[in-house]
């Protein structure tokens, strides 16, 4: 008679492996007493609960947003009182003192605070003009407009990072109708309340003064006075400092651009020959920023007669002699020969006008004039090979650089070229951030870890705990029958073990052989834990596989006993 042994299916094998693990864990668990079991369960439960709490706190801390900005002044005590009354969770920022609420409840918290009358105290702006009535006087309208303008300027200045709060006061004089009367210029005063430990930069002070001056007609930045909460006059010497700072920055920028341009020219000549990292060039330029104007007048020594004038005047006359009125009573006498009684007057004038050549020259020298250059070139000796750089090569490279930058010895330029071994440069390589450290993945990782911990808490802690508490105790008689060991009077321990194994094998064989005989007995089936008679063959096979996994030695003995009985029958 031939017998064929059926091979177990893969599904049955997997079930058997799982059954082995469960049976091993169950046997380990049964080795502990009740006190150890309770301590172990409590320790595992406490660890899982602590992990879940830490994860929840870590996840919850990522979703809080400021309720109000740093520009909005609100009483923190009033906010906390309203939030506690409404049951809204909040936190306080340790550094700034801002009140933080959950992001999904930010809108609700603001609406609740507004309904309770808790609003941010910001300077009133142009919205204050909406309440004007018909009977408002011109003086009140001007006062409201000035107050609104001050509030708008305060809001704008508070947008700067170092400024906590600010107040602006405008002094706008009344316009006059008389043209000859010198009008008064408007002015402004600004008080800044800075954050603790923060400093305001000079360029920010200039920006505030320019901002306020541009908001009022006729106001200049020099007429804006700025102080801080400690009384420091921040705008003193603003105009002079502004001019000096701008001039210095302009000169420094021009010098740096000139030096970089010359370095770029020299580098473009050396890079094809030496390589990128085998040389260093530094150029220092001295620039004269003085503005000089010169006017020179010169005369031509060669003169030219442009106009000549001559005049001559001759007069001849005689003098009257005798007694007046007695000429008619005297006889005329003859004049003596050679006697000259007359007088001659000669007047001669001569005038000449010369034109002198004149030249006037007005010269304005260039303000940003290059006075001299100082050039230093450093070469890498390793780039030249084993012999290094020769004097001829250094001279050629130096001449090439001098021609590229426009070197002029007559101007007083200085030039030096040297060669040394360059030290190796270690370039810092920034490793990319791992994907699990990015913000996007960390957000999903928190939820994933929370789900895993929650699932593990339910599967490995709550489920065994509930099953342990709700499990009904098996009848004591069945436990005694399943675990009883026949006591023999033999003094030998090996004999007792052999007899015990033989009795167990015989009991299992009787159980398997009587399976078909007692299948109709429902009481026996329920007591032995066997499947019902109407179960399919696969269920019965799985049950037999479980019995074989739990007691492999006994099942082998039973099968061997069957084979031996069959051979005896033959």
- Residue 146: is it exposed, middle or buried by C-beta count within 10 angstroms (0-12/13-18/19+)? middle
pTM of the model: 0.41
Q: Is there a domain that residue 555 lies in?
A: yes
Q: Is there a domain that residue 431 lies in?
A: no
Report the SS3 class of residue 354: strand
Q: Cα 129 to chain center, whole Å?
A: 40
275 and 227 fall within a common domain: no
105's CB contacts (< 8 A; 6+ apart) are 88, 89
Element (H, E) at 414: strand 414-420
Q: Is there a domain that residue 2 lies in?
A: no
223 and 283 fall within a common domain: no
Q: Is there a domain that residue 487 lies in?
A: yes
Read off the DSSP letter of residue 555. Answer: H
Phi and psi at residue 475, to the nearest 5°: -60, 140
Confidence (pLDDT) at 478: 45
**In this structure, what token pair is assigned to residue 102?**
């959950």
Read off the DSSP letter of residue 73. Answer: B
Confidence (pLDDT) at 396: 93
533 and 565 fall within a common domain: yes
Confidence (pLDDT) at 165: 85
Planar angle of CA 94, 99, 101, nearest 5 degrees: 115
Number of Cβ within a 10 Å radius of residue 205: 22
Confidence (pLDDT) at 269: 92
372 and 510 fall within a common domain: no
Report the SS3 class of residue 349: strand
Planar angle of CA 424, 428, 418, nearest 5 degrees: 30
Q: Is there a domain that residue 75 lies in?
A: yes
Confidence (pLDDT) at 524: 42
Indicate the Cα dihedral angle 131, 133, 138, 143, nearest 10°: -20
560 and 411 fall within a common domain: no
Indicate the Cα dihedral angle 465, 468, 470, 474, nearest 10°: 170
Q: Is there a domain that residue 400 lies in?
A: yes
Indicate the Cα dihedral angle 324, 328, 333, 335, nearest 10°: 50
221 and 269 fall within a common domain: no
CATH of the domain at 152: 3.30.300.30
85 and 221 fall within a common domain: no
379 and 479 fall within a common domain: no
Phi and psi at residue 567, to the nearest 5°: -65, -35
Q: Is there a domain that residue 73 lies in?
A: yes
Report the SS3 class of residue 431: coil
Q: Please tell me the total count of domains within the chain.
A: 4
**In this structure, what token pair is assigned to residue 549?**
């996994």
Per-residue confidence of the chain (570 residues) as pLDDT tens digits? 444 444 444 444 454 555 677 677 777 777 777 777 777 777 777 777 777 777 666 665 556 788 876 656 677 788 888 888 888 888 887 777 788 888 778 888 888 888 887 776 667 777 777 777 777 788 888 888 888 899 899 988 988 888 888 999 999 888 777 767 667 889 999 999 888 788 888 888 989 999 999 999 889 888 999 999 888 888 886 666 667 777 888 889 999 999 999 999 999 999 998 888 899 999 999 998 887 788 888 777 776 666 667 776 666 655 555 555 555 555 555 554 544 555 666 677 777 776 667 778 878 776 788 889 999 999 998 888 888 888 999 999 999 999 999 999 999 999 999 999 888 877 767 677 777 667 667 667 777 877 787 787 777 777 777 776 666 444 444 444 444 434 434 344 444 444 444 455 455 445 545 544 444 444 444 445 566 766 777 777 777 777 777 777 777 777 777 777 666 555
**In this structure, what token pair is assigned to residue 335?**
């004049």
DSSP lists the bridge partners of residue 420 as: 380
277 and 381 fall within a common domain: yes
Separation between Cα atoms, residue 524 and residue 53, nearest integer Å: 50
**In this structure, what token pair is assigned to residue 457?**
């808490």
90 and 162 fall within a common domain: no
Which residues constitute the domain of residue 371? 260-289+366-420
271 and 385 fall within a common domain: yes
378 and 281 fall within a common domain: yes
Q: Is there a domain that residue 314 lies in?
A: no
């Amino acid at each position: 008679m031939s017998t064929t042994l059926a091979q177990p299916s893969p599904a049955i094998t997997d079930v058997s492996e799982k059954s082995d693990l469960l049976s091993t864990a169950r046997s380990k668990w049964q080795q502990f007493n009740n006190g150890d079991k309770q301590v172990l369960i409590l320790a595992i439960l406490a660890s899982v609960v602590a992990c879940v709490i830490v994860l929840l706190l870590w996840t919850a801390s990522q979703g809080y947003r400021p309720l109000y900005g740093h520009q909005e002044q609100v009483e923190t005590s009033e906010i906390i009182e309203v939030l506690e009354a409404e049951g809204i969770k909040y936190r306080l920022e340790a550094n700034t003192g801002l009140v933080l609420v959950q992001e999904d409840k930010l809108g609700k918290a603001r609406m609740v605070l507004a309904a309770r009358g808790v609003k941010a105290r910001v300077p009133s702006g142009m919205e204050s003009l909406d309440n004007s009535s018909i009977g408002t006087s011109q003086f009140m309208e001007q006062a409201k407009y000035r107050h609104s303008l001050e509030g708008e300027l305060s809001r704008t200045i508070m947008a700067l990072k170092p400024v906590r709060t600010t107040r602006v006061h405008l002094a706008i004089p009344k316009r006059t109708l008389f043209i000859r009367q010198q009008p008064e210029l408007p002015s402004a005063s600004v008080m800044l309340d800075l954050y603790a430990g923060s400093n305001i930069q000079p360029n920010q002070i200039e920006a505030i003064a320019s901002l306020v001056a541009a908001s009022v007609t006729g106001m200049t930045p020099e007429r804006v006075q700025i102080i801080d909460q400690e009384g420091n006059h921040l705008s003193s010497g603003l105009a002079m400092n502004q001019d000096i700072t701008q001039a210095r920055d302009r000169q420094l920028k021009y010098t740096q651009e000139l030096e970089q341009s010359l370095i770029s020219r020299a580098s473009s000549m050396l890079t094809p020959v030496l390589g990128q990292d085998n040389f260093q060039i530094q150029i220092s330029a001295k620039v004269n920023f003085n503005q000089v104007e010169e006017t020179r007048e010169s005369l031509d020594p060669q003169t030219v007669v442009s106009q000549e004038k001559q005049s001559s005047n001759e007069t001849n006359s005689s003098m009257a002699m005798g007694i007046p009125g007695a000429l008619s009573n005297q006889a005329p006498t003859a004049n003596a020969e050679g006697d000259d009684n007359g007088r001659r007057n000669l007047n001669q004038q001569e005038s000449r006008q010369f034109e002198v050549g004149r030249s006037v020259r007005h010269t304005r020298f260039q303000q940003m004039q290059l006075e001299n250059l100082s050039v230093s070139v450093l070469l890498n000796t390793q780039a030249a090979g084993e012999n290094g750089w020769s004097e001829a090569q250094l001279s050629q490279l130096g001449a090439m650089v001098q021609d590229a930058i426009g070197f002029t010895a007559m101007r007083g330029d200085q030039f030096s070229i040297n060669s040394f071994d360059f030290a190796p440069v270690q370039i810092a390589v920034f490793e990319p951030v791992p994907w699990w450290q990015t913000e996007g993945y960390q957000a999903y990782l928190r939820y994933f870890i929370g789900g895993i911990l929650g699932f593990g808490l339910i599967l490995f802690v709550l489920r065994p705990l509930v099953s342990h508490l709700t499990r009904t105790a098996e009848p004591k008689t069945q436990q005694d029958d399943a675990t009883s060991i026949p006591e023999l009077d033999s003094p030998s321990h090996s004999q007792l073990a052999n007899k015990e194994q033989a009795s167990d094998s015989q009991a299992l064989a009787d159980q398997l052989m009587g399976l078909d005989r007692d299948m109709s007995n429902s009481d026996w089936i329920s007591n032995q834990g066997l499947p019902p008679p109407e179960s399919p063959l696969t269920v019965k096979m799985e049950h037999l596989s479980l019995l074989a996994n739990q007691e492999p030695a006994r099942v082998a003995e039973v099968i061997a006993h069957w084979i031996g009985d069959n051979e005896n029958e033959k």
